[in-house]
Amino acid sequence: MAEIEPEASLKNTATPHWIRVILDIPLTGPFDYRWTSAVPVGTRVIVSFGRRKLIGIVIANPEQPGYDVKLIKPIEQVLEDTEPLSLDWLRFAEFAADYYQRPLGEVVLPALPAPLRRIAAYHGKRSSGGPVARLDARKTLKRVDSVVSTAPILNKEQQSALEAVTAATSFKCFLLFGVTGSGKTEVYLHAAADILKRGLRVLLLVPEINLTPQFEQSLRQRLEPVAGPNGVAVLHSALSDGERLNAWLRVQRGEARVVLGTRLAIFAPISDLGLIVVDEEHDSSYKQQDGLRYSARDLAVWRGSDLNIPVVLGSATPSLESWAHAEQKHYQRLDLTERARAVTLPTVRLVDTRRLKMDHGLSPHLIQAMRDRLENGEQVLIFLNRRGYAPALHCNSCGWVSKCSRCTTFTVLHRAAAGRHQLHCHHCGLQQRVPSSCPDCGDQDMQPMGRGTQRIEEHLSQLFSPARVVRIDADSTRKKGSAQALFDSVHAGEVDILVGTQMVAKGHDFANLGLVGVLNADAMLFSQDFRAPERLFAQLMQVSGRAGRHTGHGEVIIQTGYPDQPVYQALIKHDYAGFARFTMRERKAALLPPFSHQALLSAEADDLNLAIAFLEASRQTAVDWTQENFGDNRITLYDPVPLRIVRVDNVCRAQLLIEGTHRPSLQALLKHFLPHLSTLPEARKVHWQLEVDPLEI
């Protein structure tokens, strides 16, 4: 790992000056160049690398270069249109690179807005001084007017939690464990206001893009009187390049004192940071699934520790890793056991579907409950975490089922425009027309198999006509701003029945929602992934929390064929602590996280045998080193196995799980054997990647 040189060590030496640079390329680096003077650490530079010109970051001005002086090229251009990246920020990036086993350049450069790392932005025909100069020339920052809202009076539990956070004068990680509707957001806002009054700045992370508009409005109303007009900057992946560059510059220049964003915002170049908040800390959206496979939650805790400031992790269903840290007193748990408003938690009822006659997947109990709520003028949410019209199309005559030609999975039946249907693969994106007859036997009577949100929406529109039914899922919210528009219609009372996937489960405060119906929850019960019950409990607890937040007589009906499962029994009692105790006992007995630490080596190839062969060779390399250096059972290397969906887009996939009870030993192994993987003969025919602390196995 490259060592970042403190700025204080820069000094003028005889010309030429040696400049150490990191680049976003799949080579470890760093790389040495020369310049006529020292270049501050954190500065962007344009350099020649092979036949290409690249933008890199200066990390040191060494006394001597690391290789032959004759081979060292000059820097092409020093870019001075932004302030150098701070040493605090570079130290943070270096930790991320070190822990997640990636070259430093592959961490630092992708964290910058695209225009700041794009050569064409400086050397193109319309470069005009670079992207920052162009932005500043045309930028007229529009003030976002927001109605200032009065902060509500906190209850005793909220006040106690707030006092604990604001009293922390150094690093401390708080787990804010509050039931849905308990007012965790109010604790965040009060704490943020306190930090801002001290002249410090605040970083708030949320898991999903569609949560930022609602959260942003609350932040502006409550914090701009302290942070100043336009004192809130928003960072997430749906921003255009220009919007992201503008927000990023406002953060780096200190114009924005509050940063709100999704996981990428953990890399915001924010100085004078006084508080980090991670809302819904358990959410898997905080884990990046490609490139640098980081956990924004875990990096938030490290960044808070490094800066010696408090960190708040909030959730009604904390991850078991965070729960374990609280149990071991590494984190301080702050409990909010009551809803902020004087309303009770919703009643959770299980409907055993095994002997019931169902109407398009709906039980008589759920249908009657929906009628009662609608007649009472209340809204209903039907939760089904399966988009599309039906999971597959099948032939009753011969058993043919629609399958993707490029993946080992079924194609999903979708309702398209003008009532037409198409078959979509949710893995590779393949879209096909629905065949007019069975490809195997020619029978024209093919039927949808199962139900997705489109099919449920269609049936409910007929069953409860003229009730207004709206569907919110990834298909209905593809256009920018469409999700917020749909949620606004729900809040405005223009919707009677809302059908949605997990998009509707998180963070939304529906004032008139009285009933939540949950369909097909059992699909996650028997997953091969040991984390599936934890995800299911969190998902159901979250969506249940949408009911009765203002009325206090909310009801949740969960249809299941397995009502005795511990997940459901804990949900009836709103008993996360009981579920956590049960699950932790199981994990401890099996030595699964949080009682062990994992890394996953994945390989992809045209032929599955090639991927398996590479993983077997990698495993043997790791076994040899482990036995030589440890000689005990601290590291377990499992046999390579194909993924459950083996082939995606004609690429076969396999994985090797590496597990250890001692994190430093696991990290030591990864650091040793990673450089050897590219030298294996089998590596030439595969694409491989390593993920530390994987969430899905």
DSSP 204-217: EE-S-GGGHHHHHH
The pair of structure tokens assigned to 549 is: 């937040």
The answer on whether 173 is annotated among ligand-binding residues is no
The answer on whether 407 is annotated among ligand-binding residues is yes
Cα dihedral 535, 536, 537, 539 sign: positive
3-state secondary structure of 169: coil
Backbone angles phi, psi at 647, to 5 degrees: -115, 130
Quick one: how many helices (H) and strands (E) in the chain? Answer: 18, 28
Burial zone of 558 (CB within 10 Å; 0-12 exposed, 13-18 middle, 19+ buried): buried
Q: Which residues of 680-692 are buried (b: 16+ CB within 10 A; e: fewer)?
A: bebbeebebebbb
3-state secondary structure of 44: strand
The pair of structure tokens assigned to 454 is: 């489109």
Pairing of strands 77-79, 44-49: antiparallel
481: left (phi over 0), alpha (psi -120 to 50) or beta: left
The answer on whether 652 is annotated among ligand-binding residues is no
| Among candidate residues 449, 444, 495, 447, the one with its CA nearest the CA of residue 472 | 495
| Among candidate residues 40, 304, 66, the one with its CA nearest the CA of residue 173 | 304
Q: Which residues of 569-591 are buried (b: 16+ CB within 10 A; e: fewer)?
A: ebbeebebeebbebbbeebeeee
Per residue, the 3-state secondary structure of 342-376, as one string, reads: CCCCCEEEEEECCCCCCECCECHHHHHHHHHHHHC
Cα 535 from chain centre = 14
- Segment 663-672 long-range contacts (CB within 8 Å, at least 24 positions apart): 663/597, 665/630, 665/634, 665/635, 666/597, 666/599, 666/634, 666/635, 667/99, 668/629, 669/622, 669/625, 669/626, 669/635, 670/101, 670/599, 671/101, 672/625
Continuous segment of H or E residues that includes residue 52: strand 52-60
Give the separation between CA 97 and CA 35, rounded to whole angstroms.
27
Continuous segment of H or E residues that includes residue 172: strand 172-178
The pair of structure tokens assigned to 354 is: 């095994």
Pairing of strands 497-500, 469-472: parallel
Backbone angles phi, psi at 442, to 5 degrees: 85, -5
State the virtual CA torsion across 584, 586, 592, 593 in degrees, nearest 10.
Answer: -10
| Binding positions for Zn(2+) | 395, 398, 404, 407, 425, 428, 438, 441
| Binding positions | 395, 398, 404, 407, 425, 428, 438, 441
